[in-house]
Chains A and B, each alone.
Chain A
Amino acid sequence: MSWREKLRHVNWSLVLFINGLGLVSITALVSAADGNLEPWAGRQALRFMVSVVVMLTVAVVDIRFWMRGAYVLYAICLILLLLVDIHGTVGMGAQRWIDLCFIQIQPSEIMKVALTLSLARYFHGRSLDEVAKLTYLLFPLLLVLLPVGLVLKQPDLGTAMILLMVSSTLFFLAGARLWQFAVVLVTSITLVPVTWPFLHDYQRKRILTFLNPETDPLGAGYHIMQSKIALGSGGLFGKGFGKGTQSHLNFLPEKQTDFIFTMWAEEQGMVGGVALLFLYTIVIAFSYTLAFRSRNQFGRLLGLGLTTTFFLYVFINAAMVMGLIPVVGIPLPLISYGGTAMMTVMFGFGLLLSIDIHRDVPMSRHGPYSRDLFLKKTLS
Chain B
Amino acid sequence: MHGDPDRTRVLSRRMMMLGLGQVGLLGALIARLYSLQVLESDRYRLLSDENRFSTRLLAPPRGRILDRFGVPLAINIPNFVIQVISERAENLDKTLETLTRLIPLTDQDCQRIRREIERRRSFVPVMVREHLSWEEMVRIQVNFPDLSGVVIEQGLTRFYPLYELGAHVLGYVAAVAEEDQTGDRLLELPGFRVGKAGTERLHDMALRGRGGTYTVEVNAVGRIVKAVDWHEGEAGSDVHLTLDVRLQQFAAERLGLESAAVVVMDILTGDVLTLVSTPSFDPNRFSRGLSATEWKDLLSHPQAPLTNKAVAGQYAPGSTFKMIVALAALEAGVVTPEVRIHCFGSLSLGNARFHCWKSGGHGTMDLVLGLQHSCDVYFYEVARRVGIDRIAKMARRFGLGARLGFDLPGEQNGLVPERTWKMQVLKEPWQLGETLVAGIGQGFTLATPLQLCTMVARIANGRAQVLPRLSRAPVTNGVRRPDQFEPLGVQPQNIAVVRQGMYAVSNVPGGTAYRARLNQPGLVMSGKTGTSQVRRVTPRERVSGVRKNQNLPWAQRDHALFVAYAPENDPRYAMVVIVEHGCSGSKAAAPVARDIMREVLKLDPARVSTAIVRSTNH
Contacts and interface: CB of A to CB of B under 8 A. Distances in A.
Interface of A: 127-128, 169, 172-175, 226, 228-236, 245-246, 248-251, 265, 269-270, 273-274, 277, 280-281, 284, 288, 291-292, 295-297, 300-301, 304, 308, 311, 314-315, 318-319, 322, 324, 362-363, 365
Interface of B: 1-4, 6-8, 10-12, 14-15, 18-19, 22-23, 25-26, 28-30, 32-34, 36-38, 40-41, 43-45, 47-49, 51-52, 217-221, 225
Contacts of B36: 228, 231-232, 322
Contact of B37 (A128, A270, A300, A319): A270
Contacts of A250: 219-221
A250 B1 CA distance: 56
Given A173-B11, A292-B12, A295-B1, A231 B37 contact: yes
Contacts of A363: 1
A301 B18 CA distance: 12
Given A281-B23, A297-B4, 9 more contacts: A128-B7, A231-B37, A232-B37, A274-B30, A284-B22, A288-B19, A297-B8, A304-B15, A308-B18
B29 A249 contact: no
Given A172-B18, A232-B43, A297-B7, A270 B34 contact: yes
A142 B584 CA distance: 111
Nearest to A270: B37
A322 B34 CA distance: 11
B48 A246 contact: yes
A175 B217 contact: no
A249 B2 contact: no
Given A175-B11, A251-B219, A228 B41 contact: no
A38 to B, nearest CB: 20
Nearest to A362: B1
A249 B51 contact: yes
Nearest to A324: B32
Contacts of A172: 14, 18
B24 to A, nearest CB: 11
A183 B160 CA distance: 87
Contacts of A175: 7, 10-11, 14
B3 A365 contact: yes
B471 to A, nearest CB: 49
B47 A229 contact: yes
A223 B51 CA distance: 13
Given A233-B41, A311-B22, A265 B3 contact: no
Contacts of B1: 295-296, 362-363
B217 A173 contact: no
Contact of B4 (A127, A281, A362): A127
17 contacts: A231-B44, A232-B41, A233-B45, A233-B47, A234-B37, A235-B37, A236-B37, A251-B51, A251-B52, A281-B26, A284-B22, A288-B19, A292-B12, A297-B7, A304-B15, A322-B29, A322-B32
A324 B8 CA distance: 35
Contact of B33 (A128, A226, A246, A274): A274
A44 to B, nearest CB: 24
Contacts of B29: 277, 315, 318-319, 322, 324
A173 B29 CA distance: 25
B51 A246 contact: yes
A233 B18 contact: no
Nearest to B23: A281
A250 B51 CA distance: 10
Contacts of B28: 319, 324
B40 A232 contact: yes
A350 B45 CA distance: 42
B220 A251 contact: yes
A137 to B, nearest CB: 15
Contact of B44 (A169, A229, A248): A229
Given A300-B11, A311-B22, A249 B4 contact: no
Contacts of A228: 36, 44
Nearest to A227: B36
A244 to B, nearest CB: 9
Contact of A128 (B10, B15, B32, B48): B10
A274 B31 CA distance: 10
A110 B219 CA distance: 38
B4 A265 contact: no
Nearest to B4: A127
A248 B220 CA distance: 9
Given A127-B7, A250-B219, A311-B22, A236 B41 contact: yes
Given A128-B6, A292-B12, A245 B48 contact: yes
B185 to A, nearest CB: 23
Contact of A229 (B3, B12, B18, B48): B48
A300 B464 CA distance: 111
Contacts of B15: 173, 288, 291-292, 300, 304
Contacts of A174: 11
Given A250-B221, A251-B220, A232 B51 contact: no
Contacts of A169: 18
B44 A173 contact: no
Contacts of A232: 36-37, 40-41, 43-45, 47-48
A322 B33 contact: yes
Contacts of B44: 228-233
Contacts of B40: 232
B268 to A, nearest CB: 66
Contacts of B2: 295
